Structure 1
């Protein structure tokens, strides 16, 4: 058996004190994991990575999060740093009562940090994460690094309009507790966020109203019964059309069983492996069956009020599987519409006022709309 060279032996002996020091300074803390590799999404002309860092406390004591960083592993450079109120706003704690201190993670508990990282034009080859923490009862801060992940390149295929005419408001917010972005499902032994990039499309009039007259009457909503369109040439992957609508918009509890929350839906399989999911469709309106081929712009169903819904709208998202819950949400780019403007917030929309017009003339929409953007899609062909 060959003997190690003197150079190798000396290098190993020099390393021994460092290893011993690392072992001496070791401390039980967090397991860091990114469960779904992020893909860039273009929002308002800027490329971003929208994903989650899962932190599980394996120490025997509660730990308090102080700072979380996302780092470009190749440079290295900090891409996003969260502390104080910004960290508190980005923290999710499954099962924790509202109002509790989310920064304190008990032994065996998990926290989720919802990250939104601006990356410019160059996709990092790898990310890692640095977490600073202290013992909940005080003490000096410690750090741990991990959660390495390689981002995936964006899909080349842009999607067409899911609806016709307008105006339509794109309702979503990354900060909502029960918004799609922060709703996790562990329905088959794995936790996922199918609605990571979901949008609820609600039709409004020129004054920002969603309905005329009595809002309890479904047909008084401007979007109710609107044609829902295939956004690309695709194959129908899944269909459900057995969920009844409440008799009125205010009837019953909008919270339903988890398996019925999507209401009636259609899932389309795209050629690039992604799936498009349309939810809350009107009963009896679905025009396709599993295995059918559809063309971009083809009407496949009608907008309705089934499942967990506070009013007639189209829930639209893209994922890695054609199941409403057991899939990871993926970003996408929409084309074919015009951006008319946007609301500053959901409250501004819900109060029934007009939106803020775009600074210039309405421009072609290409990419992912900003929260509460107001878009107009091409009308039905004559």
Structure 2
């Protein structure tokens, strides 16, 4: 998907003085616990500066409680030290008056043994550019995450050895999708459907991604390889007319968010889960809207259409395919990951950035 790392940015004028100085909203509204080798929390804070001064984020702290109210873990990033953690994890920390921006939750991973019943966050801001030394502004947010198990039994949508070139870990471009940025907002984005996405790249000899210099699609081992339905369902979208040139029409995004994916197949599995298989090879889509597909059925081939840097399969499980749809965790119970000289089952079927995966 689009390789954009976006920052806290400008928005409308400040609100009246009698409103709270900072507004914080957790997005999405339902926070899921993704379980693999660890527990992962993938959500963001949408922040509104309602005051007259620029505000700098100087501390984010989380306290984790179990169901009995006992403190399990407390973590923070702050201003301490010559190279403070707040600078490392929150590089774009200045919020102008009237601005709306996004802070990516910096506490994305916890051991499996920690009970994540309630997480209480403190976000501390300090004024910059105002008169005198204003008192810090501390805002609280509470999160009650829910474990997520797929309603649909999924399998890997590509065969053979596969590199998860980019998944949805804390540093992934899928994860760092700041839809409050003016460019994305102007194209009608209000959510992150790629929150739990993967870019799957088929590997060849010596675990290489391509032969030669990779300048042509045909040099990539995955180009033209089968793309399979990860589960049974009904096709609700199928596009096949885009060239494998990494291009798409930005002006069409408000009308159809799927434009960015180029050639794509969307399968509705029922139960609120839909698979998006994207960047498919032009002319390879073998299904039509309304078709019923079986798990493992070949529906297309790997390509490089839409917002694609090179041949790969972009896969995500979502609640909806247009603006406002959100990503869902997706697990592949039959997947194995390379560990040492061998292969082991992927913990809970969860894979992510950097994993070498054997699906079938």
When the two structures are superposed, what TM-score results if normalisation uses the length of structure 1? 0.74
Question: Which runs of 5 or more structure 1 residues have no equivalent in the other structure?
Answer: 1-25, 92-100, 247-252, 341-357
Gap change, CA 1:197 and 1:87, over 3 Å in 2: farther
Cα separation, 1, equivalents of 2:284 and 2:127: 57
What is the match of residue 32 of structure 2? 39
- CA shift, 1:306, in A, is 0.5
Q: What does 1:318-337 correspond to in 2, within 5 Å? A: 318-323=317-322, 326-337=324-335
What is the match of residue 94 of structure 2? 104
Per chain length, whose mean CA-contact separation is higher, i.e. which structure has more relative contact order (CA < 8 Å, sep 6+)? 2
Cα separation, 1, equivalents of 2:75 and 2:111: 9
Deviations 1:79-128 (A, max 9, x none): 5422244433444xxxxxxxxx7222111112312121426356644444
Gap change, CA 1:286 and 1:190, over 3 Å in 2: closer
Cα separation, 1, equivalents of 2:204 and 2:100: 44
Gap change, CA 1:305 and 1:189, over 3 Å in 2: closer
Gap change, CA 1:182 and 1:211, over 3 Å in 2: same
Does structure 1 retain, via aligned residues, the 8 Å contact 2:335–2:349? no
What is the match of residue 206 of structure 2? 207
- CA shift, 1:297, in A, is 1.1
Cα separation, 2, equivalents of 1:109 and 1:119: 35
When the two structures are superposed, what TM-score results if normalisation uses the length of structure 2? 0.78
What is the match of residue 237 of structure 1? 236
What is the match of residue 363 of structure 1? 344
What is the match of residue 65 of structure 1? 57
Cα separation, 2, equivalents of 1:119 and 1:175: 16
Gap change, CA 1:198 and 1:72, over 3 Å in 2: same
- CA shift, 1:322, in A, is 2.9
Cα separation, 2, equivalents of 1:131 and 1:76: 21
What is the match of residue 10 of structure 2? none
1:88 counterpart SS class? helix
Does structure 1 retain, via aligned residues, the 8 Å contact 2:38–2:109? no
Does structure 1 retain, via aligned residues, the 8 Å contact 2:24–2:141? yes
Cα separation, 2, equivalents of 1:41 and 1:70: 18
What is the match of residue 12 of structure 1? none
Kindly name which structure, 1 or 2, has the bigger radius of gyration based on alpha carbons: 1
Gap change, CA 1:228 and 1:326, over 3 Å in 2: farther
Cα separation, 2, equivalents of 1:227 and 1:268: 16
- CA shift, 1:33, in A, is 0.4
Cα separation, 1, equivalents of 2:38 and 2:121: 22
Does structure 2 retain, via aligned residues, the 8 Å contact 1:264–1:280? yes
What is the match of residue 13 of structure 1? none
Q: Is residue 359 of structure 2 the alignment partner of residue 377 of structure 1?
A: yes
- CA shift, 1:359, in A, is 3.1
Cα separation, 1, equivalents of 2:186 and 2:274: 19
Runs of 4+ displaced beyond 6 Å: none
Does structure 2 retain, via aligned residues, the 8 Å contact 1:54–1:113? yes
- CA shift, 1:279, in A, is 0.7
- CA shift, 1:152, in A, is 3.0
Cα separation, 2, equivalents of 1:265 and 1:271: 19
Q: Is residue 197 of structure 2 the alignment partner of residue 198 of structure 1?
A: yes
Cα separation, 2, equivalents of 1:190 and 1:217: 32
Cα separation, 2, equivalents of 1:255 and 1:291: 25
2:161 counterpart SS class? coil
Does structure 1 retain, via aligned residues, the 8 Å contact 2:273–2:319? yes
Gap change, CA 1:208 and 1:83, over 3 Å in 2: farther
Cα separation, 1, equivalents of 2:210 and 2:294: 31
Q: Is residue 62 of structure 2 the alignment partner of residue 48 of structure 1?
A: no
Cα separation, 2, equivalents of 1:368 and 1:377: 12
Cα separation, 1, equivalents of 2:158 and 2:74: 36
- CA shift, 1:314, in A, is 0.4
Q: What does 1:211-226 correspond to in 2, within 5 Å? A: 211-226=210-225
Cα separation, 2, equivalents of 1:275 and 1:89: 35
Cα separation, 2, equivalents of 1:71 and 1:234: 41
Q: Is residue 150 of structure 2 the alignment partner of residue 148 of structure 1?
A: no
Cα separation, 2, equivalents of 1:318 and 1:39: 13
2:126 counterpart SS class? strand
Does structure 1 retain, via aligned residues, the 8 Å contact 2:164–2:352? no
